[in-house]
Copies of this chain bind each other. A is one copy, B any other.
Amino acid sequence: MSDRERRVLDTLEQNRRRPPKFTSQRIDMSHGAGGKATHKLIEGLLLPAFDNPALAPLADAATLPLGDARIALTTDSFVVRPLVFPGGSIGELAVNGTVNDLAVSGATPIGLSVALIIEEGLETEVLTHEIEAMARSAEKAGVSIATGDTKVVERGKGDGLYVVTTGVGLADPESNLSSAAIRPGDKILCSGTLGDHGAAILIARGDLELEAEVLSDTRPLTPLAQALKDTAGPDLRFMRDPTRGGVGTVLNELARDSGYGVALSEEKLPIRDVVHGACEILGIDPLYVANEGKLLAIVAPESADAALEALRNTKGGEKASIIGEVREEPARMVVMHTGFGGTRMIDMLVGDPLPRIC
């Protein structure tokens, strides 16, 4: 074990021994927003209770031994409001979200389960639309919905429809994707424009006085993940889909877990003007806005250009770019280099600007 690895393990070990205390008396919306409050809930309350080796890494998917193989398991609840939005709907999101958690873990999906919690009074037409969206998305992603469950709750005890999808996949025995694998100099690749999904939801809700059309980017990331694996091989260190909490949250987790710093180039960030505009009205940074069809990858410098090319040649990755790199310093932090030669800290998101975005 190198000194570096030892330090990473020590940090992880310390974090485990001293979980943050969860001191809130009640759960509020911020605990579901994917930022600091969510982390406190998970690491202060859930992780200590459920303590086990599969859960400890807190990856998008857990891996579990099965004979000589390893299977990947991931679950996600979808409570997005409204159910249908420009570019997609809850059913599409629920299938793609879980397929993507498997894909960025380097796993090949085997099957999905779908649990529906329906509010009494939901129009059958609405339900049918979502069931057909799930079926279509599953087919598109090449995975089957193998089992399910349906519950109905009284009016006023739900919000139309909540969907929980769980995915099981076969972990790639060759792949060793992990935040512990990243090294200074590694490049940070992003498969396309940031914040589209979150902005589409906000505009659909009418929260903004904005007429602009932004479509959710929901899509299966399996082809992009496969292109990266094929091209970069062991030089592909880490992948993640920056959903709730956005790129800012994923990179903060990465910096914290790896012990390294992350440097972003503001001018390299692919963000649509209309998304920029929506975020300005709300006073939030597009870096924290959810994506549902974007992949973030850390690749060793010698394979970064080839990996970028591979993304750009794959459907859904046409606007991929290298947005930053891993550095020794500042350890455990994310900094943004602005166009004017300045730098600013990108911290973990505090509070809850975007509830029920997925």
Contacts and interface: CB of A to CB of B under 8 A. Distances in A.
Interface of A: 22, 24-33, 38, 41-42, 45-46, 49-52, 54-55, 61-62, 64, 66-67, 69, 71, 73-79, 110-111, 113-124, 127-128, 131-132, 134-135, 138, 144-154, 156-159, 162, 164, 166, 168, 170, 355-356
A144 B55 contact: yes
A134 B97 CA distance: 25
Contact of A45 (B51, B76, B128, B356): B128
A118 B32 CA distance: 9
A226 to B, nearest CB: 19
Given A27-B127, A156-B156, A166-B166, A115 B147 contact: no
B73 A29 contact: no
A234 to B, nearest CB: 23
18 contacts: A26-B121, A27-B122, A32-B118, A45-B124, A45-B127, A50-B144, A55-B145, A64-B146, A64-B168, A74-B113, A76-B115, A77-B150, A78-B151, A79-B151, A151-B356, A157-B158, A162-B162, A164-B164
Contact of A50 (B75, B123, B148): B148
A275 B106 CA distance: 51
Contacts of A146: 52, 54-55, 62, 64, 73
Given A24-B124, A62-B113, A73-B111, 11 more contacts: A27-B122, A42-B150, A50-B138, A50-B144, A54-B144, A55-B146, A73-B113, A73-B147, A73-B166, A75-B114, A77-B149
Contacts of A145: 50, 52, 55
A77 B117 contact: yes
A99 to B, nearest CB: 15
A148 B46 contact: yes
Q: Which of A31, A145, A148 counts the most B-chain CB atoms under 10 A from its CB?
A: A148
A330 B172 CA distance: 52
A50 to B, nearest CB: 4
Given A25-B123, A32-B118, A64-B111, A75 B147 contact: yes
A127 to B, nearest CB: 6
A152 B117 contact: no
Contacts of A25: 123-124
